[in-house]
Amino acid sequence: MSALVWLKRDLRWRDHAPLATAALHEQALALYIVEPEWLASPGFDPQHLAFALACLAELRATLAARGLPLLVRVGPAVDVLAQLRREYPYRHLLSHEETGEGWSYARDRAVAAWCRAQGVLWTESPQTGVVRRLRDRKGWAARWHARMDAPEVAMPEGFAGARVDTPDGPTLASLGLPPARPLPAAGERAALDLLDGFLAGRGRVYRRALSSPLSAAEGCSRLSPHLAFGTVSMRHVHQATEATIANTPDRTLAHALRGFAGRLRWHCHFMQKLEDEPAIEHRNFARVCDGLREDAFDRERFEAWCEGRTGFPMVDACMRSLRATGWLNFRMRAMLVSFAAYHLWLHWREPGLFLARQFLDYEPGIHWSQMQMQSGTTGINTLRIYSPTKQAMDHDPEGVFIRRWVPEFGTPAYPRPIVDERAALRLARERLYALRATPEARAEADAVQQRHGSRKAGLPPSGARAPRTRRRAEAEASPLQQELFR
Ligand SMILES: Cc1cc2nc3c(=O)[nH]c(=O)nc-3n(C[C@H](O)[C@H](O)[C@H](O)COP(=O)(O)OP(=O)(O)OC[C@H]3O[C@@H](n4cnc5c(N)ncnc54)[C@H](O)[C@@H]3O)c2cc1C
């Protein structure tokens, strides 16, 4: 039987089940499809494709050295698969599972229907801790560990590669796309180098460096684009981290890496939410929040936020830095969203799409869950309103980061604040706390908690006892939830 490996967000050689299985077949071929639906999706930015193509260039050489040709084609997935089958009559399609946006879910359903009609066997393998068709979250963390602690997939020596021409694939220019902003190093080698350097010592300052935009760029792992494009497997990162923690005599490093290791679970925990409820890309987790902000969308405020000219220097510095580099640390991402949601009273969808285009690491499951969490529409998480002034005092006390990105700050060229912070926050709090106190909101919070809450983390069902004040609510948040907000 002939096999076709359909590469998606798994652009690596190591720990790759579909590639390993393909080697057992009479003939094999690998394919990456540049899908028009992706290019047209509102969260897409040319930097995403540029990164994928750079990863593919390296992978193509890796696979060619083992006798496996890799084709890169452009078109709707079903059309490309059907055309290729006329040139190379494969019977077995192999890929990893994907937890993506609605268009990719619809495409997977179309591919499944096409495979059934054509008599093609399609085998999808998991590659993260996300569990398909999960009934409930009970025991999820144990399943995550079972998968992540299992041995990595043994990779074959070589393949009986199909004899096909492998012309050069598309480029941004050939697809009519503008050039991408400067990118970090792409591909599997770069991912492994980043991980090795982080575990060998760079990660020592992780806990201290994580929160400030001045230190986080160096002190965090910076693995997120690699996890999003699959140039390294989550299992490999987890196992390498656990091995370092167990073996290093450096207790500071081990302690720092324990914090990092916990975040790897959060990656899959958030993706699981989108897997279980794909609609959260578009609509509120807590439906009682429907209508809260939809009709109040102020485009001028939104544009000022996007362009980094809100008159709040820490917000503007973060936004400008993100636009230039494609990355921002967790706390500053959360602050940007909190500012959009509470200070500017913007619904999360458009700011979320804008940020998706800026983040090279755009991962829909994490992204939409976090957008809603930081906007107060999950119904179960503590409302966390970040003060940009406090964030600047805590994480950029000398104003170094602000001066770097907002050089005109302190001159007449810098805009005045676009909102009155006190008045905006008073109104936002009143609206949200009033809503959360309703019996409907409490009942719904229970349902959201049952479906999406991390029971292993011991999160108290927030609907069971409605928090009366913000301080009390924060005190009630579980340690793991608080850890997430650090
Ligand atoms: C509004 C908002 C949107 C976000 N969107 C994305 C996104 O699209 N893609 C993305 O990868 N991360 C997203 N995050 C989470 C987090 O900010 C990034 O994962 C992190 O900043 C990436 O840098 P790093 O790889 O150096 O992280 P490290 O701190 O080194 O963490 C290692 C890995 O753990 C995972 N991780 C870390 N923090 C979190 C978290 N809070 N939730 C889930 N997983 C986490 C990521 O896979 C990350 O690469 C978002 C956070 C917020 C507040």
Q: What ipTM does the predicted assembly reach?
A: 0.99
Is 260 a known ligand-binding residue?
yes
Q: Which CATH number belongs to the domain containing residue 264 in this structure?
A: 1.25.40.80
DSSP codes of every residue in 214-271: TTHHHHS---HHHHHHTSS-HHHHHHHHHHHHHH-S-HHHHHHHHHHHHHHHHHHHHH
Alpha-carbon span 245 to 417, nearest angstrom: 46
Last residue of a domain, one of 94, 127, 160: 127
pTM of the predicted model over 0.90: yes
Please check whether residues 6 and 97 belong to one and the same domain: yes
- DSSP assigned state of 392: H
Among protein residues, the one whose CA lies closest to atom 49 of ligand 1: 224
Report DSSP state, residue 24: T
pLDDT tens across 240-265, in order? 999 999 999 999 999 999 999 999 99
Is a pLDDT exceeding 80 seen at residue 486? no
How far away, in angstroms, is 472 Cα from ligand 1 center?
A: 27
The protein residue with its alpha carbon nearest to ligand 1, atom 5, reads 367
Same domain, 359 and 248: no
Tell me: do 222 and 355 sit in the same domain: no
| Sign of the dihedral through C-alpha 225, 230, 234, 240 | negative
User: Does residue 315 share a domain with residue 262?
Assistant: no
- Inside any domain, residue 143: no
Task: Of 267, 264, 227, give the one whose Cα is nearest residue 11.
Answer: 227
Domain boundary among 127, 148, 169: 127
Find out whether the beta carbon of 266 lies less than 6 Å from any atom of ligand 1: yes
Domain that includes residue 253, residue range? 188-276
Clarify whether residues 16 and 96 are in a common domain: yes
- To the question of whether residue 302 is assigned a binding role by annotation, the answer is no
Q: Which atom of ligand 1 is least distant from the CA of 269?
A: 43
The Cα–Cα gap between 35 and 75 comes to 5
Per-residue model confidence as pLDDT tens digits over 188-215:
999 999 999 999 999 999 999 999 999 9
Report the CATH number at residue 10: 3.40.50.620
For 458-478, write each residue's pLDDT tens digit: 322 332 333 333 333 333 334
Give residue 43 CA to ligand 1 midpoint distance, Å.
Answer: 17
Confidence band for 454, pLDDT divided at 50, 70 and 90: low
Using one digit for the tens of pLDDT, what is the confidence trace for 162-186? 999 989 999 999 999 999 999 999 9
Listed residue (378, 373, 284, 364) closest to 103, CA to CA: 364
Nearest Cα residue to atom 41 of ligand 1: 484
Atom of ligand 1 nearest to the CA of 330: 17
Q: Is any ligand 1 atom within 6 A of the Cβ of residue 374?
A: yes
Number of domains in the chain: 3
Nearest CA to ligand 1 atom 6: 367
